[in-house]
Amino acid sequence: MSNFYFCVERLKEAFYTLPSVTPKFAAKLASDFIKLPPESRKKLLDELREAEGSIRVCSVCGNYSSEDVCDICADKERDSSIVCVVEEVMDVSVVEDAGFNGTYHILGGRIDPLNKILPENLNIESLFKRLESGAVKEVILATNLNRKGIATARYIYNEIARRFGDIKISHPAHGLSEGSEIIYVNAHTLKEALEGRRSFE
């Protein structure tokens, strides 16, 4: 086997580490990369290196950021007394499109004991830490409306109710159907769901 063959295989494996890339797509990406003119390959690598050097995680909410605190948490115009809890970073842009003007807390997934994802594996304890200051008056649980998302919301609800009895806990169930994943809900529906949010019980 030539060195080049191993190099291509490693390239495929590297692309395959991206969660949405299938083995077939990884092979296609490796092939595309090899076929690029040298200057385009270099530009792509420079961009990746640049991105790698500036990706940080917001110390408040867990969103990706180029600073220690992300733009949303740092924005004084936003209502920091309301925290919208979402499963993934991608959910933030969907809730933003729905016109939400509070702040976020990104869990980085959902509780899934069968796949060994427990509360301590998610960005949950930092939410409770955040609530200790008393500045947050309402937590909106905007996890997905499927089994794992609801179980995650239920866990957070129970913990907040137990530790901080006076914080309002709501969820945007109004108008959203069972099984809905936040990322696929259109902005108008989500806006109505957020405006008509109900107490989580």
Site of interaction with Zn ion (CB under 5 A):
58, 60-61, 63, 70, 73
| CB closer to Zn ion out of 73 and 145 | 73
| CB closer to Zn ion out of 70 and 193 | 70
| CB closer to Zn ion out of 107 and 173 | 107
How far apart, in whole angstroms, are the C-alpha atoms of residue 136 and residue 167?
A: 7
How far apart, in whole angstroms, are the C-alpha atoms of residue 190 and residue 100?
A: 10
Q: HSE of 28 in the Cβ direction (CA atoms, 13 Å)?
A: 5
E-assigned strands of 4-153? Answer: 56-57, 64-65, 82-86, 103-106, 138-141
Give me the least distance between CB of 51 and Zn ion, in Å please.
18
| CB closer to Zn ion out of 46 and 68 | 68
How far apart, in whole angstroms, are the C-alpha atoms of residue 67 and residue 44?
A: 23
The alpha helices in 98-146, defined as continuous H runs, are 125-131
Give me the least distance between CB of 134 and Zn ion, in Å please.
19
Give me the least distance between CB of 108 and Zn ion, in Å please.
13
Give me the least distance between CB of 102 and Zn ion, in Å please.
12
Q: Is 154 left (phi over 0), alpha (psi -120 to 50) or beta?
A: alpha
| CB closer to Zn ion out of 60 and 84 | 60
Angle of CA points 134, 135, 140, to nearest 5°: 100
- Which one, of 126, 175, 183, lies nearest residue 149 by Cα? 183
Give me the least distance between CB of 96 and Zn ion, in Å please.
13
